[in-house]
Amino acid sequence: MTSTMSPRKLTLDDILDLRAYERNREEFRRQIIDLKARRRLMLGTFVSIVFENRETIRSQIQEMARAEKLSTDEEIQIELDIYNPMIPESGRLCATLFIELTSDDSMREWLPRLVGMERSIAIRLSDGSEIRSYPEAQHENQLTREDTTSAVHYLHFDVTAGQIETLATSGGVLVCDHPNYLEEIELSALNVAELVSDLRS
């Protein structure tokens, strides 16, 4: 890793080897479940958004390494390179969007109808401004298509200093304004605290 890397980003030293992770997995997963409960919002019946931070991404890499039995530094570094862009920098939020369809029929029906979903999520603030999503660049080519959408998207939101203060003091509403899936949900106080912590760190 280079010396210019943000201190927020994960390095090899942050990832436990498989045996050490297995010993601590139960407690680690309990903590992550609690953390994600404050960071996950359900938009309508089958779309959810999880706002990521350093710990949620570390958990993702640990679970990936466990499932695929990754053990070498080279294998782990590949995962770090893939997922580090999803750790938010100051002034930016990062999120994973899940389209949670459970049958082949529903996927065939809905995924073509939701093309452009990755640019249809916004946080609407009390002053009327919006913080709009855009796809994370490294994953955009893999997940963005013209005729159908992916069930998972990785999103970024760039937030100005003024918007951070408005969010902190007045909260906001998470909105999906895709013409085929119009939904919104108010951010709870716990949601706002988590997001403001990401933005101000």
Same domain, residue pair 48 and 135 = yes
Cα 170 to chain center, whole Å? 23
* Strand pairing report for 121-125 and 152-158: unpaired
- Percent pLDDT > 70 in the chain is 94
Q: Side chain identity at 182, as an amino acid letter? A: L
Q: From residue 9, give the alpha-carbon distance in Å to each of 77, 132, 155.
A: 12, 23, 17
pLDDT in tens, 76-111: 999 999 999 999 999 999 999 999 999 999 999 999
Q: Side chain identity at 58, as an amino acid letter? A: R
Same domain, residue pair 68 and 119 = no
Q: Is the pLDDT of residue 3 over 70?
A: no
Rounded Cα gap, residues 53 and 151, in angstroms:
21
Same domain, residue pair 10 and 109 = no
- Percent pLDDT > 90 in the chain is 89
pLDDT in tens, 134-165: 999 877 666 667 789 999 999 999 999 999 99
How crowded is residue 66: how many other Cβ atoms within 10 Å of its Cβ? 14
Please count the CA atoms within 13 angstroms of the CA of 132 that sit on its side-chain side.
11
For the residues 55-62, what does the mean pLDDT come to? 97
Same domain, residue pair 4 and 65 = yes
> Which residue in the block uniquely carries the two structure tokens 């159908």?
148
Cα 70 to chain center, whole Å? 23
Rg (CA), the chain: 17
Q: Taking all residues of the chain, what is their mean pLDDT, rounded to a whole number?
A: 93
What CATH number did the domain enclosing 189 receive?
A: 2.60.40
Domain around 113: 43-52+90-201
For the residues 173-178, what does the mean pLDDT come to? 98
